[in-house]
Amino acid sequence: MKRSQCAVVMLVLAAGCIGQAQAEDRVQVTPHVTREMIAENLMGGLSSDNKGLRESAAFMLGEQKVTRAVVPLMQMLHSDAEESSRIVAALSLCRIGEARGVFAVRQAAKFDTSERVRRLCAWFFNEHVQAGSFVFVTPEEETSVQYGGR
């Protein structure tokens, strides 16, 4: 009985060693993904014709705080026809926190043609850059966002 148990244990150990040796012979085929590779792919997504891809790329560039995305995001904030795209660009610029982008969001909060974009730009600026920069009033008082002067 002990002899058969010993034989089973030896077989299991031998199978494990052979499996491990074969696994070490395999070549790793997945490339090492770097932060730079991710940023490069996301930058490419900004120039897509697909609105969802463009907005997702803009959002992720803000999450990753990719400073070289500031200029393309500023272009999106100023010239994109879609309100939602301008809003995502503003959020990302505030999250990145670079001075040029933050200034662009502050200007959009005052001068964008859309009330919704102006309101959200002001809110993003207050949340991510400098609290108290914009004063929000209730709809009964007035429907616009007032610049706080900071």
Percentage above 70 pLDDT, the chain: 71
- Inside any domain, residue 125: yes
- Inside any domain, residue 118: yes
- Inside any domain, residue 15: no
- Inside any domain, residue 86: yes
User: How do residues 17-73 score in pLDDT, each as one tens digit?
Assistant: 555 555 455 666 677 889 999 999 999 999 999 999 999 999 999 999 999 999 999
| pLDDT confidence tier of residue 117, bands split at 50, 70 and 90 | very high
pLDDT at 55: 97
- Inside any domain, residue 72: yes
- Inside any domain, residue 26: no
Flag whether the pTM goes above 0.85: no
CATH number at residue 123: 1.25.10.10
Name the DSSP letter for residue 67: G
- Inside any domain, residue 18: no
CA proximity to 42, closest of 11, 72, 3, 82: 72
- Inside any domain, residue 20: no
pLDDT at 145: 59
Cα–Cα distance, 59 to 72 (Å, whole number):
13
Domain count for the chain = 1
- Are 66 and 95 within 8 A, CB to CB? no
- Are 94 and 128 within 8 A, CB to CB? yes
Domain ranges, residue 93: 36-147
